[in-house]
Chains A and B, each alone.
Chain A
């Protein structure tokens, strides 16, 4: 069996998963493709509009556009290093078929190359889907030839190859020297801290100043500053230079940077091959044998069981232990904190001198907070049924009322979600300096919404579980995750719309009759009741009959 045969088997697996999928799975597939297509077309249209708008800015237009492109390419480059590191750990070292493949008459290098391709595709497809519409819009607005567009895309793919090679080199080295679990923890914590740091730093750069003509004095200084994070000398900078070369029709710049990019890719790929030949095999077995422990002194005679009398407390204690001992879960709390800081910072920078603007922003701010809560619930709550799917038999066969099991997870995560919702609305209302009534109104809306979104997230997680996942991201981006985000977005729009009229009247200083207030309040409560009961009803039904 050769590399070619291994690849063809993987292709066959993909084909069979489509061919032998059930009717429901086919419908889901069509739905995902439709949403994906809408996303790509939407991204293209928005990118086109933004690119056209920025291009028309006097003096700075083209320069700013190049800087944004360079920044986007740099972020993709760094993100891909870390995502390929994480993905390579599961595909190259911990995939379920690895021992089976090693037992076959296939060279280790061929197995490695198959896993390398798999890592490349899995880690880069999402970034390519996001970058492609932007690059297309950029190329069209700048009247690039088709050949020039192809050169840009090939350059980006080569840069992706460089990133993946970097990620895999780190993965091979760490895997050789450390046990897998610790290695994963190090990688996960690194990616989170880096992402948080880059995101926070970029936000504190205040790019919105650039679009404010009154701050034009600071522009040169700002552009100088903006050139620093773009990081000259990195492959992402070479890609940016290739785009610039095409824009200013200087082929020498394009060729020079393309050659550098290509040579680096070849060198890194050869390094990966060299390391794989020498370290990959022993890396796999150091992972497998690292679990052995030294024997302890027998102390079982002193063993006493510490049994918890309170059932709910026993469930919560178990869940908290599992959460704390899984760094992939709790380290993401860092992201939440960074998100809150950046969000509040963004609000402080809004031009809000007039009271009615403040109140309007505070009102629409509720929608933004609900969206952040949705993201939070997707990350922490929606994934829980899939994470625990295979161990659910323990609870389902136990003498515990099923509603208690169903709601025990919600009891743990709801306080966290409520806390984030309350902090974000209260702080942003404080920064905006809104009236007391808006404070109370925001508190009321966010409390109800947090409860509804959390319960809906958990219920939809039960309705569409993904028990066979390789990393947590696959659960979030599954069909169920997509459904939850779409439904929650519809819910947010309807919720905000239900209060739009009375808030508008309030902003304009026009009194609203009590009957109208009651009507809109009822509207709001009905929307919440509908989202809550429909998801809980079907989620609980599935939980009772087929879950686990």
Chain B
């Protein structure tokens, strides 16, 4: 199953106003994996996923998804990506339903019929408890409701690759629980998930493999066990130990 990488990130460089944000980022993600990009604030996670989702162009290097280069112009690749940003601003003057309809108009949804889409729509509406507010204008939503609406719009489309930047922000415990289980189910269905977070417990529970990013560079990559071996840490070390040991030498 894991012979060929689905996502290949090669030697990414990006700078803003002469400040180098990414300094040669490289990693690979395979089909059915939950790959976690772990790092402190300002490490370059968001810039990396913005390049992965085709929003930004790197100054150097490239990203390939299913062997096709990702770029702002590549429409075909964007169709198979479900992207959730870390600060998800949405059209506050649309209702929740109108927003979902707009997203479904723009993307090709991976469903066989209209009925199936409506069923899935009702399913996620119930799971995220948005039934009462879906016809209200989004500006009346709380931060958590907006996050749920965005997750719903992505899950509804059922894309091949999920790129989720800090997906748990604002979610209530029930939605967090649903989210974790749903992501595991998606991976079992051979969907590829890239999670970007600084929450170690989330990474601990979900990550098949992970990369620790710091100051625009990948410090280590692999499964938790592989990294523990690489760093010569005692078996059974937590991800917190792994993370702290990895970035220790960077201070």
Q: A residues within 8 Å of B by Cβ?
A: 22, 24, 181, 291, 293, 295-296, 298-301, 303-309, 311, 314, 318, 321-322, 325-326, 390-391, 393-402, 544-546, 548
Contact = CB atoms under 8 A, between A and B. Distances in A.
A475 B228 CA distance: 51
A311 to B, nearest CB: 7
B94 A322 contact: yes
Given A301-B122, A321-B94, A326-B93, A400 B104 contact: no
A47 B93 CA distance: 45
Interface stretch (B124-132, B168-176, B185-193, B234-242): B124-132
B136 A305 contact: no
Contact of B121 (A291, A303, A322): A303
Given A301-B122, A397-B83, A309 B105 contact: yes
A396 B16 CA distance: 19
A182 to B, nearest CB: 13
B37 interface: no
A394 B138 CA distance: 15
A298 B94 contact: no
A307 to B, nearest CB: 5
A390 B57 contact: no
A546 B93 CA distance: 26
B140 interface: yes
Interface centre among A308, A325, A390, A398 (most CB of B within 10 A): A398
Contact-size category for B:
35 or more
Given A22-B17, A546-B56, A398 B106 contact: yes
Contact of A399 (B18, B78, B93): B78
B55 A321 contact: no
B247 interface: no
Given A325-B137, A398-B103, 20 more contacts: A24-B17, A291-B140, A293-B136, A300-B122, A304-B118, A305-B97, A305-B100, A307-B105, A308-B102, A311-B106, A314-B106, A318-B102, A393-B89, A396-B54, A396-B55, A397-B53, A397-B54, A397-B81, A400-B106, A546-B16
Given A397-B55, A401-B73, A544-B72, A308 B132 contact: no
Contacts of A303: 97, 118, 121-122, 125, 134
A331 to B, nearest CB: 15
A308 B104 CA distance: 8
Nearest to A306: B101
A300 B105 contact: no
8 A-B pairs with the lowest CB-CB distances in the bound complex, closest first: A390-B89, A314-B105, A399-B79, A325-B93, A300-B131, A399-B78, A308-B105, A399-B75
Nearest to B104: A307
Contacts of B97: 303, 305
Interface of B: 16-18, 50, 53-57, 72-73, 75-79, 81, 83, 85, 87-91, 93-94, 97-98, 100-108, 114, 117-118, 121-122, 125-126, 131-137, 139-140
B122 to A, nearest CB: 6
A314 B97 CA distance: 14
Contacts of A395: 106
Contacts of B57: 544-546
Contacts of B125: 300, 303
A306 B17 CA distance: 43
Contacts of B136: 293
Contacts of B78: 397-400
B132 A296 contact: yes
A314 B105 CA distance: 7
A141 B39 CA distance: 67
21 contacts: A181-B139, A291-B139, A293-B140, A300-B126, A303-B121, A305-B104, A307-B101, A309-B105, A318-B98, A322-B94, A325-B137, A391-B89, A393-B85, A394-B103, A397-B55, A397-B83, A398-B103, A398-B107, A399-B78, A400-B75, A400-B78
Contacts of A308: 101-102, 105
